[in-house]
Copies of this chain bind each other. A is one copy, B any other.
Amino acid sequence: MREAFHDQLDGIFADLSDICGMVEVAVHEATKALMTGDVHTADQVISGDKAIDDARERVDDTSFQLLSLQQPVAGDLRMIVSALRMVSELERMGDLSVHVAKIARLRVPQVAVPEELRPTMGRMAEVAEDMVRRVRGIIIDRDVEAAIELGRDDEVMDQLRRRSFTELLSTDWQHGVEAAVDIALLGRYYERIADHSVSVANRVVFVVTGERPERD
């Protein structure tokens, strides 16, 4: 009985890592759509989000059932409560990828990101995707050290965001208001994906150590 319960707990974490994998694909594909103005890829990210939402519901239902039927305490309870929170954040990261894809689609056949901004924006996208990939590993391995390291690397994203603003607000900006608004919002979306990654990683730390994760 207890063993079946622990299998179910492990199953929730396996589901979380799968969802994280789906988010990684969503971030990657949304960026591809953005940088190439590819409407087909953008549409796939947008319609594909339903699979993430559905997977989230399954984790919600299973977690709720386990809480209700097994009445877990201590570490097991911590794990389920954390799973409920992690899955919310992962779903949100999927939504943010959809936002990126929607901006991409809105500008087709143009590319939303002007050429001189592409290095900075491309780097933001890479950092976000890399963080999501690392979070997946952190979930699978319950890797506290990697989780703490991820939190430190969040600073890179902040620097990139500041750089994008500097580039936007330079006096020789030639691309008008629409492109500027797109860049500001895109920067915000990638930054939020990074923030949620750190937050999910912190929850893994909480699961393993019982120490409260750093403030989101």
Contact = CB atoms under 8 A, between A and B. Distances in A.
Interface of A: 53, 57, 64, 67-68, 71, 73-74, 77-78, 81, 84-85, 88, 91, 165, 168-169, 173, 177-178, 180-181, 184-185, 188, 212, 215-216
Contacts of A180: 177, 180-181
Contacts of A88: 85, 88
B85 A64 contact: no
B81 A215 contact: no
Nearest to A184: B181
A147 to B, nearest CB: 19
A64 B81 CA distance: 8
Taking each of A53, A81, A84, A177, which has the highest tally of chain B beta carbons within 10 Å of its own beta carbon? A177
Number of identical protomers: 2
Contact of A64 (B57, B77, B184, B216): B77
Contact of A71 (B64, B71, B91, B169): B71
B81 A67 contact: yes
A52 to B, nearest CB: 11
Contact of A178 (B91, B169, B178): B169
Nearest to A99: B188
A188 B191 CA distance: 14
Nearest to A74: B68
B177 A173 contact: yes
Contacts of A181: 165, 168-169, 180-181, 184
